[in-house]
Amino acid sequence: MLCESKYAKYYFPWTTAELKQFPFVKARFSDVLSCTSLNECFNTSHPTTRTMSLNARLQILKTNQETFHMVTGSENGNAAFVPYLAYNEGMMSIGAFRDHSGDYPERIMMTPEPQVEKYQLNAKYRIPLWELVFHDCMVSYWYWGDNSNKYPTQWDRRDQLNALYGTPPMFYFDGPFWDKNKARFQQSYQKITPIARATGYSEMTDFQYLSSDRMVQFTAFSNGVRVIANFGPSGYKLADGAILSPGSIVSYGVKDALAGVNAPATGAATPTASQIRIDGKATAFPAYNINGYNYVKLRDLAYSLQDTQKGYSVVWNPEKNTVEVHTNARYTPIGGEMGRSSLQAGVGRLTAPPILCDGITVQLPAYSILQSNYVRLRDMASLLDFSVTYDAKENRIVIDTSNSYEVQR
């Protein structure tokens, strides 16, 4: 076993030579690096403390990321390693309750071991603490020996958990199993991947049990996506009166979120032709339409909402190079707001200005148009929780600050 104080001496030259030979390698999985105990070394020529052990591991991951520019992952999770990892293998799987055949992922088990069925895959006992803290920082997967298709009888349950947590599935299969279950693999991918993509860069902001037996569960993400999963034996009545059947999920806001995730790098920006009404009053609001969505300036919207219950302030923080939005605060005009006369067609270029809303970083797709940044109106409605609808008959965009935002399925 190599003392961790010597990792850098051997690892960096070896990786440099490897990438010279295989320049197409763009990712690395550093097995067990983030999950095994930190070690001490009592060799008098290179004594090593556990703090030094941690720093040696972090240095490897940091170099992977910053010097070799590789997407890096490791096994399970540890808060100290989060800044240098893009994904983990195993945090969806509770270590103490995995199947004993977990080191043999090719073994397909028709009947889960008791601890797996009772705790690992029983949503009643699960709380996504890791995702509530780190969902926007890294992607979590099942353990490879506890993959999505490990127990075919529990495949649906894993799909539900992935959807609820906004995480991707993990598959392990050979040729014959793929040939036999190709449609089932496609079902998981098509059901789960859109939610994982829509929420990948967003915080999980809420988790709730919606039923007394804890088998109907709810998650919310900072970009407006909401997911409800029914793990119970009977139907659950949703707010709109629809019944969520046992073993199923319903998601809201995924389409809107994906429109931001999949937003093209450039797009034709035309002045919005629709009239905008705020709480019943017509507003000469400068806005652009790009790919069917309306985009507005943060300050213009703040100026227009300053006398409503959804008013907010906008402050530029030069030290952090960040725009700060503070809800329930009075906006202070700086001049130049609502300059509709200057609107002209142009090309929008996708950008991602850093925005802090009440101290929380939010990811809002935005476009730079004629040297000004415009954010999507629907994203701001979700963030500030006001209603925005479109009246096709009157060609009006209707903002109602007395009603909450309704996410679209």
Same-domain status, 10 and 156:
yes
DSSP string for residues in 180-199: HHHHHHHHHHHHHHHHHHHH
The CA-based angle 239-245-246, given to 5 degrees, is: 125
pLDDT at 129 (0 to 100): 96
Measure Cα distances from 391 to 291, 395, 396 in Å.
18, 6, 5
Establish if 117 belongs to a structural domain.
Answer: yes
Quote the pLDDT of residue 156.
95
CB 48 within 8 A of CB 3: yes
Q: Residue 203: count other Cβ atoms within 10 Å of its Cβ.
A: 21
10-residue mean pLDDT series, the chain (409 residues) = 84 93 93 90 93 94 92 93 95 86 78 89 95 96 93 94 97 93 95 94 94 96 91 93 94 84 83 92 89 92 94 90 91 86 82 82 82 89 91 93 80
Into how many domains does the chain fold? 2
Domain final residue, candidates 187, 203, 219: 203
**Residue 258, domain member (yes or no):** no
140 and 19 inside one domain: yes
According to the model, what pLDDT value does residue 338 have?
86
Q: What per-residue confidence (pLDDT) applies to 247?
A: 95
Is 154 found in the same domain as 19? Answer: yes
Q: According to the model, what pLDDT value does residue 1 have?
A: 64
Residues 280, 177 share a domain: no
Residues 58 and 166 in one domain: yes
Same domain, 33 and 127: yes
Are residues 98 and 15 located together in one domain of the fold? yes
Cα 156 to Cα 161: distance, rounded to the nearest angstrom: 9
In-domain check, residue 287: yes
Are 164 and 28 in a shared domain? yes
Query: Is 358 within a domain?
Result: yes
What pLDDT, in 10s, does the model give residues 89-119? 999 998 888 877 667 778 888 888 888 889 9
Within-domain flag for 407: no
For residue 119, is it within any domain?
Answer: yes
Q: Which of 152, 173, 203 is the last residue of a domain?
A: 203
pLDDT tens sequence across 162-183: 999 999 999 999 999 999 999 9
Range of the domain at 157: 4-203
Claim to verify: residue 286 and residue 180 sit in the same structural domain: no
Q: What does DSSP assign to residue 81? A: G
In this structure, the answer to whether residues 191 and 102 fall within a common structural domain is: yes
Picking from 203, 220, 244, the residue at the C-terminal end of a domain is 203
